[in-house]
Structure 1
Amino acid sequence: MILTVTPNAALDVTYTVDSLVPDEVHRVAQVRQRAGGKGINVARVLHALGGDTRALALAGGATGNAVARELATSGVPAELVPIAGETRRTTAVLALADRSVTLLNEPGPEVTAGEWAALLAAASRHRPEVLVCSGSLPPGAPPDGYAQLAATGAQTVLDTSGDALLAGLAGRPAVVKPNVSELIEVTGIRDVESAAAELRRAGAGAVVVSLGPDGLLAVTGSGTWHAAPSAALSGNATGAGDAAVAGIALGMSWREPWPQLLRRAVALSGAAVLGPLAGDLDLGHYHREHDRVAVRARGT
């Protein structure tokens, strides 16, 4: 079973407008709401693929209740650990004219030591084969919160940034998945392969770097690979990284070799770009693209 942990869950609200112009009044063509946060998005993708998964998250207040209702309606298996604070909302504005997406992310509620301990206990109780730790840590969470979760013993995929990423390396995650800017931020090294190697020296088993439309670069103990999509895509890229993480976690649970795992992750990432909301997939694209993804070993 793949357990995803989202300490800073959210109710994702997406507004669709014709165009987004500063200092103007906009008429919203469509409003959509769903449970979100990076780990929940990963679980949604895995559920759509028929994977054995469960989403674990902290949730509280009326917004937390809305998150719980949406997860129940969508059928994504979930356990929500209650907190006293109000779950945050995130707002995405999708402008149809240029397909741009503007994100407004609230910081999240203050989490108490007891609430964090309850999250750790729940993660340990599930005994997953693969543990996915995703997104920001909410205020009040321990700085090394992801290292504490990794200590539950499962193979861990860590997808976060900044101090949470650096502190999480103490848990020796099997994979960390930063994008290029996140990688440069935490290492100060602009060469992607050198920066990824630095994270491996600091505790990561492997580093898979999101290169945006250029795919993924994996720096591992057994080699370095670049996986590229067959063609550039336009759409909503907000859930593409989460879909890639779902592919990585699924490949780990199936013990796939790195080239196969990366092919799946890149195909899922593209399928997410074509989905309307984070966590959605164009399954037809995924199945067509899977065998078209080019995976090449670096340094050979």
Structure 2
Amino acid sequence: MILAVTMNPSVDISYPVGRFKVDDVNRVETVRKTAGGKGLNVARVISQMEEDVLTTGVLGGTIGDYIIQQLNNSNIPNDFLKIEKESRNCIAILHEGMQTEILESGPTLSREEGTAFLEKFESMLNDVSLVTISGSLPKGLPANFYHHMLIISNKKGIPVIVDSSGESLKQVLLQGGGKPFAIKPNTAELSQLLGIEVGEGIIDLKQTLSQEIFHGIEWIIVSMGGDGAFVRHGEDYYRVTIPKIIVVNPVGSGDATVAGLAVALNRNQRVETVLKTAMTTGMLNTMEAETGSINMTKFNQYLDFVKVEKID
């Protein structure tokens, strides 16, 4: 079973508008509300792929209750640490081919609540074969909180996929106790992490991913949006390209990629299948209006369109 962690869940609200008017009224006819946060998007896609998944994190208030209700309605098993503080809303305004986001920061957790979650997390790993950790940390938790979760998982021999950025990702990569099994940064996140401008050329990316900070990570998937991905697996490098598609809603596509990656790794599939699966689920998400959702009837068709090239 895959355990999908979302430490700062939200209700994701999508507002599609024809033209976004600043300092004026914008009326929206169709509103979509989804139990969200990156890890919940991951869990939803894993469930749609018919893989066993359990989602966890920290929830509170009426928003937290709504999230649990939505997960239960979707038959997604969940077991959250409950707090009294209110969870958050995150708004995406889709306009003129662009996406403008308004993200609430969410509740501030106490040290005791952080400790309680780590204890809960450790107790949940007995029946888990892989962990995904996605998104930002709530306020109040230290930047090395994901690193503590990684150490707990590594001691039990459970591989971890980390999809985060900034200081929380840096702490995961720099502190001792083992590395994550996989990470999925984009070039902007790599630039922020390393303090240099990371280009999208093959030579630049090979040099970047060969740096010591990335040693010990089995899979590094560098997301390049519509251009696919650049991948380091062990000592090998791959360029993955995807076809042009009609984008309906890009929100959650990176999470769907993580879901496909997690499922393929959990099934011990070969390298090419792992990469094609991850890219396909990411693509399928962009073709759906609902965040963190794929149409599995299209999976095999689009899987064949993904090309994986090994780079010398």
Aligned mates of 1:37, 1:133 — CA distance in 2: 11
Q: Which of residues 270, 282, 287 in structure 1 aligns to 2:295?
A: 282
SS at match of 1:139: coil
The code of the aligned residue for 2:298 comes to H
State the shift of 1:83 in Å: 1.7
Runs of 4+ in 1 over 6 A off after TM superposition: none
In the other structure, the counterpart of 1:124 is 122
Q: Normalised by the size of structure 1, how large is the TM-score?
A: 0.94
Aligned mates of 1:2, 1:194 — CA distance in 2: 32
1:20-31 matched pairs, under 5 angstroms: 20-31=20-31
The code of the aligned residue for 1:184 comes to S
In the other structure, the counterpart of 1:160 is 164
Aligned mates of 1:122, 1:48 — CA distance in 2: 26
In the other structure, the counterpart of 1:101 is 99
C-alpha distance after superposition, 1:59-109 (max 9, x if no partner):
0111111111111112111111112321011001123xx332221111121
Aligned mates of 1:251, 1:199 — CA distance in 2: 27
2:181 pairs with 1:181: no
The code of the aligned residue for 1:164 comes to S
State the shift of 1:54 in Å: 0.8
Contact 2:159 2:180 in 1 (8 A): yes
1:134-149 matched pairs, under 5 angstroms: 134-149=134-149
SS at match of 1:23: coil
In the other structure, the counterpart of 1:192 is 205
Q: Percent identity?
A: 30
The code of the aligned residue for 2:167 comes to D
Aligned mates of 1:209, 1:111 — CA distance in 2: 31
**Number of aligned residue pairs:** 297
Aligned mates of 2:21, 2:311 — CA distance in 1: 43
In the other structure, the counterpart of 1:74 is 74
Aligned mates of 2:256, 2:147 — CA distance in 1: 23
Aligned mates of 2:172, 2:137 — CA distance in 1: 11
Aligned mates of 1:267, 1:286 — CA distance in 2: 7
Contact 2:251 2:292 in 1 (8 A): no
State the shift of 1:35 in Å: 0.9
Contact 1:99 1:236 in 2 (8 A): no
Q: Which of residues 220, 240, 243 in structure 1 aligns to 2:233?
A: 220
- Worse overlay, 42-51 or 11-20: 11-20
- Worse overlay, 44-53 or 247-256: 247-256
Aligned mates of 1:22, 1:14 — CA distance in 2: 17
2:23 pairs with 1:10: no
Aligned mates of 2:216, 2:58 — CA distance in 1: 27
Q: Normalised by the size of structure 2, how large is the TM-score?
A: 0.90
Structure 2 unmatched ranges of 5 or more: 199-203
1:245-284 matched pairs, under 5 angstroms: 245-284=258-297
The code of the aligned residue for 2:280 comes to A
Contact 2:34 2:291 in 1 (8 A): no
Residues 108/158 of structure 1: CA separation in 2 closer, same or farther (3 Å cut) = same
2:231 pairs with 1:231: no
Residues 222/107 of structure 1: CA separation in 2 closer, same or farther (3 Å cut) = same
Aligned mates of 1:245, 1:83 — CA distance in 2: 27
